[in-house]
Structure 1
């Protein structure tokens, strides 16, 4: 198996370079947000620091970053530019899943690692479809054609769409008894069109456009995990995590990684608020707003919420790394609580600052838009709460 560059930085070295990368991202975040342009320079900086391949397994020559490392990195990147952090997150999640279950065929992953030596090689899983409901089979169809498959359909909310080196596309086959699986597609493949539909309130630089596939050819060896409607997990997938199914670990990584981004955004909002409260002295006062108990208590409320969110995400991450079943089961509610705390913190910061907080001259309104828009990457609250409620009922039945 080809490895990534021999000089791939260690986790410690990559983390040491984080502050410089965050500063660079923050310097251009407003520009990319205003123009809705993809932050290629920011992604390049993340790559050069070794952060984009942080979770490549050591057996492939990578740093072998853990989920605990990942949430730390993404929280910091979220402080600089939430769009860059989100796009980075999905690539880190792909490498982490490969480290756990090795579901990519050796030749395909070798090619990805080779591309990662040359420059940023972004990857994302494309699942969402316009109008699709949870639990429904994908509308995207794979039709067998000779020694490969022809893939046709439309995927939506595809973060980094215009810059993806690889797309892991979920689709169903057109066989008499359809199977569902993941098809690895090169971003430059013939038949792919990027439809620039992403015009959201926030995360405007994430290029989360629709991807339209029109008879895109996929070699047969790049069709992964094809299973029928009543099949369980593929027997070829190594369940290296003991009692925790690989799919549950994948979900847990997603929950905590994206939560970390939202909390990082909220921390930037708090940083701006602190500067504002230290500097703002209204005409009817002789001291800055930060000297007033009301504002200090409000700031303390924000601090308490963010401490809780950070402790929740940061505390669960190393337990998920150990494949603790209880921790894995808690990451759904954890992401719900953490993102709610992040949204509430930024909303309170805006409320405290009044008109300045809503002015596009300042970044606080962008932080609010970004943290609100981060919800697009999570399961609906109702689905998370229903799952948690079912688990509670099952525990009560066993008691």
Structure 2
């Protein structure tokens, strides 16, 4: 393995020979099929979807947003959306873990903030195998940080670094993670107790003091391993704490409280789920031949009209997703205030597409012998990701009424 290096204000940046993924329709379809092959098994067992993650790794998708200065492809939001649609069509749990990893690499590409040694370790490991990363933020008492409040998790300053203590919830990736980015409050001898610093602590997943609590027994995304995790006396170096800036008014606001240009990875994976549900509906309609009808139900006008409705909803979601991402990549800032409600609209469309398919087919769609019931369970999880519908609509209403 060869590498090159350059110097930055944070130390040495190493470039590794990461593959440039093939994002042609045929290549993405092949990855979708490979990931889908084990999706039902992972959904039933709840185990980390290692086979699906390995397929994504072999295709170069887990490192697609690694910066070019590190030897990565440095792909932007449009290509990320295409990747996550393809993975979501195969297995939504795999896609969610990949989405979080791509987001972490993209954030580092935009603004280098990781400790140099730890990010170099992540890159080296990511060459060899799937090495997921996740920002671990929610807590059992606090709930979703986008709703406001500060974490109870603390990073206590010591003479040789930090000591991390706390209990986190909904830590997607579970024991499959290579690194945690843990949202915490800094406990410092010279800090302001009324206005403590808030940030993410970069934590290698194999450090002593990390314990997983298997709380995830969810309706959807069952293989995402979104369990609780407890940190007890986890020791870290001085540069492991990365402060999150306060707003112009001096108040800390969670960055997930409103959608930003890089926040369309989660909607993209659910567009993939809707596409998978459409394909499952079509397959059933073409092969189902009731005795009383004597021909496939796909030949009836009722099923044809339902298929058209499903296609409308999928097309609407895809058009919104790719349209807004293209506008952002073209530098159109006028769409920025509308990003949160665009995410809501995508969510409504994908849920409607899957629910329409399930309602039309009835019992066969709800049977665990098929895949539609899994797609229904998975697509409902789109509503969980911040900003959630009520907060997005309230903010949009206040904005347009004030304007």
- TM-score after normalising by structure 2: 0.89
Aligned to 1:94: 104
Question: Which moved further from structure 2: 142-151 or 181-190?
Answer: 142-151
Aligned to 2:166: 153
What is the Cα deviation at residue 351 of structure 1? Answer: 0.8
Cα distance in 2, alignment partners of residues 13 and 270 from structure 1: 22
Deviations 1:360-390 (A, max 9, x none): 1000001101111233333321111112112
1:312 to 2:320 alignment: yes
Cα distance in 1, alignment partners of residues 76 and 26 from structure 2: 16
Cα distance in 1, alignment partners of residues 288 and 25 from structure 2: 34
Aligned residues: 383
1:127 to 2:137 alignment: yes
Aligned to 1:186: 204
Matched residue SS, 1:149: strand
Aligned to 1:164: 177
Contact 1:157–1:210 at 8 Å: present in 2 too? yes
Aligned to 1:242: none
Question: Which moved further from structure 2: 141-150 or 250-259?
Answer: 250-259
Aligned to 1:375: 383
Contact 1:200–1:373 at 8 Å: present in 2 too? no
Matches within 5 A, 1:301-380: 301-380=309-388
Aligned to 2:8: none
What is the Cα deviation at residue 231 of structure 1? Answer: 7.1
- Provide runs of 4+ in structure 1 moved above 6 Å: 228-231
Matched residue SS, 2:14: coil
Cα distance in 2, alignment partners of residues 330 and 57 from structure 1: 28
Distance 1:166 1:232, change over 3 A: farther
Matches within 5 A, 1:234-245: none
Distance 1:44 1:167, change over 3 A: same
Question: Which moved further from structure 2: 89-98 or 292-301?
Answer: 292-301
Aligned to 2:42: 32
Distance 1:55 1:198, change over 3 A: same
Distance 1:145 1:82, change over 3 A: same
1:272 to 2:285 alignment: no
Contact 1:11–1:65 at 8 Å: present in 2 too? no
Distance 1:248 1:127, change over 3 A: closer
Distance 1:228 1:252, change over 3 A: closer
Match 1:218 to one of 233, 236, 259: 236
What is the Cα deviation at residue 327 of structure 1? Answer: 2.6
Cα distance in 1, alignment partners of residues 330 and 256 from structure 2: 13
What is the Cα deviation at residue 179 of structure 1? Answer: 1.3
- TM-score after normalising by structure 1: 0.90
More helix, by proportion:
1
Cα distance in 2, alignment partners of residues 199 and 167 from structure 1: 21
Matched residue SS, 2:47: coil
What is the Cα deviation at residue 248 of structure 1? Answer: 8.2
- Unaligned segments of structure 1, at least 5 residues: 235-245
What is the Cα deviation at residue 220 of structure 1? Answer: 1.1
Cα distance in 1, alignment partners of residues 307 and 233 from structure 2: 54
Match 1:55 to one of 60, 65, 70: 65
Deviations 1:288-342 (A, max 9, x none): 2111112211111111111011000011112223443223332211111111111
Distance 1:89 1:253, change over 3 A: farther
Question: Which moved further from structure 2: 54-63 or 251-260?
Answer: 251-260
Contact 1:162–1:194 at 8 Å: present in 2 too? yes
Cα distance in 2, alignment partners of residues 168 and 53 from structure 1: 17
Deviations 1:252-280 (A, max 9, x none): 25531110111110111110101111121
Distance 1:50 1:88, change over 3 A: same
What is the Cα deviation at residue 230 of structure 1? Answer: 7.8
What is the Cα deviation at residue 70 of structure 1? Answer: 0.5
Aligned to 2:125: 115
What is the Cα deviation at residue 287 of structure 1? Answer: 2.4
- Unaligned segments of structure 2, at least 5 residues: 1-12
